[in-house]
Amino acid sequence: MEEKAYTHGFSRDRNQGLWVEHSDRLYVAAYASVASLAVTFSGYFRAMDGQIREYAITITPTSDRVITENSVFFGAGFLLSCHAFLSSGSANRGQCFVRARIQRSTGAPLLTLAKVLSGYVSDDHSPAFPYGTIEGPLEGRGFLRSITGTNPAAGAEISETVPTGARWRWMSMEATFVTSATVANRRIRIIFDDGTNQYYRYKAAGDVTASQTAVVTFAQFGAESALSNGVLGVPVAPEIYLAAGNRVRTSVNLLDAGDDWSAPQLWVEEWIEA
């Protein structure tokens, strides 16, 4: 009988698969920003006796972008395939990031031997091995979100913080600013900071005076505009990326205790920081 020599790692023949030792495990993980999901990792494994077995590992990620993980031991053999798909719930690209790895389960920390798959799983896309594309969490398109922010109390400023585990490409924000009867020229500024240190600010071209209502749009304009017909445009630099904990906020010169911002509406592109 002819003996066949098995080699560690990827074979030149993609049908042979990925070599796995007895002490190795298939580690899977998911991060989600939407609730009620279940992600299943399934495929085929060929044991040393030549038997091909099916496997399936299902995990239910939470909606707070925190890692949910699991693993399975196969014994020695070849991992032939793996793909991740939504077995419950619905997600768009940018809302659920998944990865799978082969890890050596002896010693600490665990040694990652091979990346099996990595990418966003959605209703119409399933990251796969061996014929899929390995993708990082910040690559490609994110999820477009329209976010209603917090309505500040009278006399308080707008302040919105990027949630834990998220990365934003900020595009626009709109809110209504109603001033009290107190005479003062309010000049509106938009500020971006890392929670402590400012890294971008810009002020409006014109003032909002007493007893006025202004719909203020902060966006990537080509030109700024003073208050006209109840609308004030404030330009912002393009391509502003915000990490978790960064803030976008207003700062109004001569803000009166009776002045009142509405809840802001933000338009952002979001990824998961996995």
Res. 15: pLDDT tops 60 = no
State the pTM of this model: 0.89
The more confident residue out of 89 and 239 is 89
In the beta sheet, which residues pair with residue 217? 174, 233
The 10s digit of each residue's pLDDT in 37-95 is 999 999 999 999 999 999 999 999 999 999 999 999 999 999 999 999 999 999 999 99
pLDDT digits (tens, 9 = 90+) for 152-182: 999 999 999 999 999 999 999 999 999 999 9
Structure tokens at 41: 């990792």
Average pLDDT, whole number, for the chain? 92
92 contacts 47 by C-beta, under 8 angstroms: no
pLDDT at 205 over 50: yes
Neighbours of 226 (CB within 10 A): 12
> What pLDDT is recorded for position 75?
94
Predicted local distance difference test score (pLDDT) of residue 3:
31
Answer for the pair 269, 168: CB distance below 8 angstroms, yes or no. yes
Which domains does the chain carry?
18-129 (2.60.60), 143-272 (2.60.120)
Please choose, from the candidates 173, 181, 119, 184, the residue with its C-alpha nearest in 3D space to the C-alpha of residue 150: 173
